Amino acid sequence: MIKLGKESINVFFTPQIKKQLLKEAKEWKKEQKQKKNCRMILIIGQHEDTTTDKVCDWLNYFGAKFVRTNTGTNNIDIVSDIIISNDSLKIELFINDTKYDFDNFSAIWCRRGYLNFTLPNLNSFNVIENNIPYKVESHLINETNTLKSFIEYIFKNKMRINTISHYNSNKLIALQTAKSVGLNIPQTLITRKSKILKGFININKSCITKNIQDNLSYHDENYTFGHGTTDVKIQDIQTDSFYYSLFQKKIEKKYELRVFYLLGAFYASAAIPPIGTNHTDIRTTNKTNRHTPFNLPNNIRKKIHEFMLQMDLESGSLDIIVDENDNYWFLEVNPVGQFDFLSGKNNFYIEKEIAKALIDGNKNRFSEN
């Protein structure tokens, strides 16, 4: 832990790195203080998210003014009033018993948080015939969704890092987009027919299956189960049909990359599992994997940059496989994936860079490095 002014940041550095980091941070802090305009940052966050906490530590150190909302605590009904006229647009927010003019925010970071609105209590309705309360509730939900969409639309006028509606970007669209910019993607099949699947396995030999979109997991005091990436063989198929599932040709990997993308900058790390292990899902050996910084080729950087532009993502964690012939294969992108381990194990200081980008507040900062 190092002490930065009044704030502490729970990261560990060598004495040389620590000295250089503090020097750079102090110089940058001094430069920001000299700027005339006082900027404010809005963070749409999640309660007890370590990554957001660390970025806020850096914002505090740099003396930046910011307001943070957290899902489940202070993110409910924060939109107080909206006035739309021929001459202007005024949005007033109410957070932690304080009013804020939306115009005073120069940057917005959407990090796993949401805008929640309280619906009226419909129990007072005396009429229950014809599903009237349900229809009223559906109407109010639609009204609320329109309001949320408008607020997100206005976010685009600010310097922003991601947006709420893109937290869970469609993985099939991501595959198609990756292909369109020239990235390799594994041969992919989505089917519910055993006959089609068997033919796919016969052609591609080694195949895997994983979720089309989100992982299924459950945990309580009696049961724990989850679903990751697993191998699939013809002998595993025991029914004529099943629900829609995703299958891919298995890429024999030399190593797997985790790449964090931020406004045109790349932070890449190779995950190297212990010798003698060959798990399909590298998360199986997460605790014992070695991580080393990795320099992406320029042509791969350009393709990823174009991919992120087309996906309308300012940041995100990408999973990429490098095969035994040094070909790069795109697997997926998670716009709000955890990168704490990536930053810490590789001395990338990503949290610091996010803080600096937010303070800079330049919505045209999105550029290829």
pTM: 0.83
Same structural domain, 66 and 151: yes
pLDDT for the residue 338: 85
Same structural domain, 75 and 148: yes
pLDDT for the residue 7: 44
pLDDT for the residue 8: 45
Same structural domain, 87 and 136: yes
Of 128, 163, 198, which closes a domain?
A: 163
Same structural domain, 137 and 213: no
Place of tokens 């997991």: 217
pLDDT for the residue 129: 64
Rounded-to-integer distance, Cα 125 and Cα 216, Å:
38
Same structural domain, 148 and 218: no
Place of tokens 């940052």: 41
In a domain, 75, yes or no: yes
How many distinct structural domains can be found in the chain? 2
Parallel/antiparallel/unpaired status of strands 253-262 and 265-272: antiparallel
Backbone angles phi, psi at 280, to 5 degrees: -65, -45
pLDDT digits 0-9 by tens, 114-136? 999 988 877 665 656 667 777 88
Structural domain including 51 reads 2-163
pLDDT beneath 50, residues of the chain: 1-9, 36, 285
Same structural domain, 133 and 244: no
Same structural domain, 49 and 141: yes
Of 198, 226, 250, which closes a domain?
A: 250
Q: What is the mean pLDDT of the chain?
A: 86
Rounded-to-integer distance, Cα 221 and Cα 206, Å:
36
pLDDT for the residue 22: 75
pLDDT for the residue 153: 94
In a domain, 80, yes or no: yes
pLDDT digits 0-9 by tens, 277-291? 555 555 554 556 778
pLDDT for the residue 361: 81
In a domain, 68, yes or no: yes
Backbone angles phi, psi at 267, to 5 degrees: -130, 100
